[in-house]
Amino acid sequence: MVDALSEPEMPAPRVVGVDKYAVRKSRHYGIALVGVESRRQIHLLSGREASNLAAWLAQWPGVEIVCPDRAPSFAEGAQLRAAAGPV
């Protein structure tokens, strides 16, 4: 019955927090994206590359602020998306 329920519609995030997560410590990492204002998980991306984050941000043009953790690749991903200009 739970699987039959539709996903609740979430408004487009304006402020996104970015952090890494481990599927398997020391082997498989990804990027966790959290809506700062809604305090909800938005998406999990595989890999920790800046290009993955930049591609995801390109799909969400309403994101105004990105709050990355200390990983340089997250800041680089946000800068890559910002440099690309409007979608």
Q: Residue 86: pLDDT band by 50, 70, 90 thresholds?
A: low
pLDDT, averaged across the chain: 85
Q: Residue 28: pLDDT band by 50, 70, 90 thresholds?
A: confident
Query: What φ, ψ does residue 20 adopt, rounded to 5°?
Result: -95, 155
Residue 10 is given by DSSP the state -
- pTM for the model stands at 0.76
The pLDDT assigned to 45 comes to: 92
What is the four-CA torsion angle of 8, 86, 53, 14, rounded to 10 degrees?
A: -40
Q: Is the pLDDT of residue 10 over 80?
A: no
The pLDDT assigned to 34 comes to: 93
- Looking at residue 63, its amino acid is V
The helix/strand/coil state of 30 is: strand
The pLDDT assigned to 78 comes to: 84
Contacts 24+ apart (CB under 8 A), 5-9: none
The pLDDT assigned to 87 comes to: 52
